[in-house]
Amino acid sequence: MTENGDPYEHAVAERMNGILKAEWLDMEEYADFLQAQERISQIINTYNQVRPHASCNMLTP
């Protein structure tokens, strides 16, 4: 079981959420849930395929 409200319990997921919010989501507004869901899918693809990662010596995965 995980503790409620403990960001260290899932540090990798929390880091990913923080990056998504800081680099993309906080700068955009969405008309509805579907638009937000579609945009988040695009952002996750960009994060996984295009964005440089420190763990890869700042190369893309």
Complete DSSP assignment for 10-44: THHHHHHHHHHHHHTGGG---SSHHHHHHHHHHHH
Domain-by-domain residue ranges, the chain?
Answer: 10-56
Separation between Cα atoms, residue 15 and residue 20, nearest integer Å: 9
User: Is this structure's pTM higher than 0.85?
Assistant: no
Tens of pLDDT, residues 10-45:
888 888 888 888 888 778 888 999 998 998 899 888
What Cα–Cα distance (Å) separates residue 50 from each residue in 1, 34, 53? 34, 23, 9
Helix (H, G, I), strand (E, B) or coil at 57: coil
